[in-house]
Amino acid sequence: MLSTTIINSFKNLKILCIGDIMLDKFLYGDVERISPEAPVPIFKIVKEKSMLGGTGNVIANLASLKIKTMFIGAAGNDESCIMLETFLKDTGCEYSLIKPENYPTTTKIRMIASNNHIIRADKETELNLSHDEISKLKKFAEDALPKCHIVLLSDYKKGLLTAETTQMIISLCQKFGKKVLVDPKEKDFSKYSGADIVKPNLKEFELVSGLKFDTSDENFKEKITNAARDVMKKYNIGSLLITLSKDGMIYVPSNIEEESVHIHAEAKEVYDVSGAGDTSLAVLGASIAAGAYINDAMKLANLASGIVVGKLGTACVTPSELKNAIINENAKGKLSQGLKIVSVDEAVEIAAELKSQGKVIGFTNGCFDVMHLGHIHSFAGAKNECDCLFVGINSDKSVKNIKGEHFPLQDERTRAYVAASLEFVDYVVLFDEDTALELVKKLKPDVIAKEGLKIENWPEAQYILSYGGKAVQLERVEDYSTTAVLNKIDNLQKSGVINV
């Protein structure tokens, strides 16, 4: 089962990206008539948007996942480069740029009307690095490599990653003991010799292998595995991960004793495939750097790609989107409530991520030993005050401290699962302390809501109010309480109606 702990560890990573960066410009508008000057549509621009493209989209995805990044590349000494540097700074990226004379920053301009691409216009010139510029590239790499966990080479065939420079970088990575993942564009894979993983798409792999493959063939996995191992042997490549678009991806290790791994993609409503390969590379590299097994890294990359193709334009994936995708993936045919039960550290991270998206975080707490209408009414009322409701539940240890050795009647796992089963509850967090104050201090919710407590006698509420949060006293549902339920059971037992 995929675990969100992989994503939680992303924040501890630093990843070096080397490759062809470019500026992506999107012009959104309408086409309502044909030009009187020529039989072409008139595109009326409504809005414009610019962002990092090429290897820059890999960086943007890593930054969106809260991963520290470094980048080495080339750009022109022009206005587009100024925009690129602004975007790189916005991601927090540490970058080193070579700026050759008379070299324009690669720029892609896409015109989009009614979610349809009308035309793409490119401004680019192939890069030819001088001897001094190659030396500068080497120095940049030598300075960055000791500080990173993994290296991603994103080759868009614009001239930075030539056979000479790519082999120089891979040799340096081997010297510093860093894994290298390559997103290739060349048909001649000798350029990538020594890389740990090369990630072509199926069309690119067919070009390098000289063979055609039918993914519906019952022997597809065996055929592509054999071809992949021939390619790896010929070009001295550690392993190949071949992306198959709607058919998922397949990982082929060079060791013939290891099985190939083929995972299938889910059917998605596709708006735009721009940048999906960059997202896949970013998540795959981050997952491997975080210590994930290759099949889990592939599943995460596959889920991430599925998210971005459902967005218009070059897009990024966020930790919360990826975590939700994991929850949905793990929940298939299984008891999914347990996936809403999170640790304190996970709760803090989830809350922070949701707050960064402008979501209102709510909180309520209790033992919830015998669930009844009063509890459900309380959850519904609390959820009405927020976008995401966290429910703190006293652990078995906590309940015993408060109520004595005979309690709780139901263990913490049961109580947590019952609460997590309710639609009003987004996340459940168990805590060992007698009160929820320490949990509230870590979670820092925007609002707390609960029945039966006056705000002046409510420490958690006082703390939340101290930083500008909101405390809500919910209306109590009369005649419903755990004590009333236990008294009824006791009376029924004494009268002989039931035998506990």
| Residue of 278, 296, 426, 446 marked active site | 278
The secondary structure of 381-405, three-state, reads HHHCCCCEEEEEEECHHHHHHHHCC
Catalytic residue check, 278: yes
Rg (CA), the chain: 28
Q: Phi-psi category of 189—alpha, beta or left, where left has phi over 0 and alpha has psi -120 to 50?
A: alpha
CB 460 within 8 A of CB 436: yes
Give 201-210 contacts, CB < 8 A, sequence gap 24+.
201/242, 201/243, 201/244, 201/245, 201/277, 202/242, 202/243, 202/244, 202/245, 205/231, 205/240, 205/242
**Contact predicate 306/268, CB 8 Å:** yes
Q: Which amino acid is at 203?
A: K
Q: Which residue has the tokens 């500080």?
A: 147
Beta-carbon contacts of residue 488 (< 8 Å; ≥ 6 apart): none
List the structure tokens of 401.
Answer: 């401290």
Enter the tokens of residue 479: 């005649």
CA distance 393 to 115: 46
Angle at 482 between CA 478 and CA 483, to 5 degrees: 90
- Taking the CA atoms of residue 163, residue 164, residue 169 and residue 171 in that order, the dihedral angle to the nearest 10 degrees is 100
From the list 54, 51, 64, 42, the residue with the least C-alpha distance to 17 is 54
Q: Token pair of 389, please?
A: 């409701």
Sequence length of the chain is 500
Residues assigned a catalytic role: 278
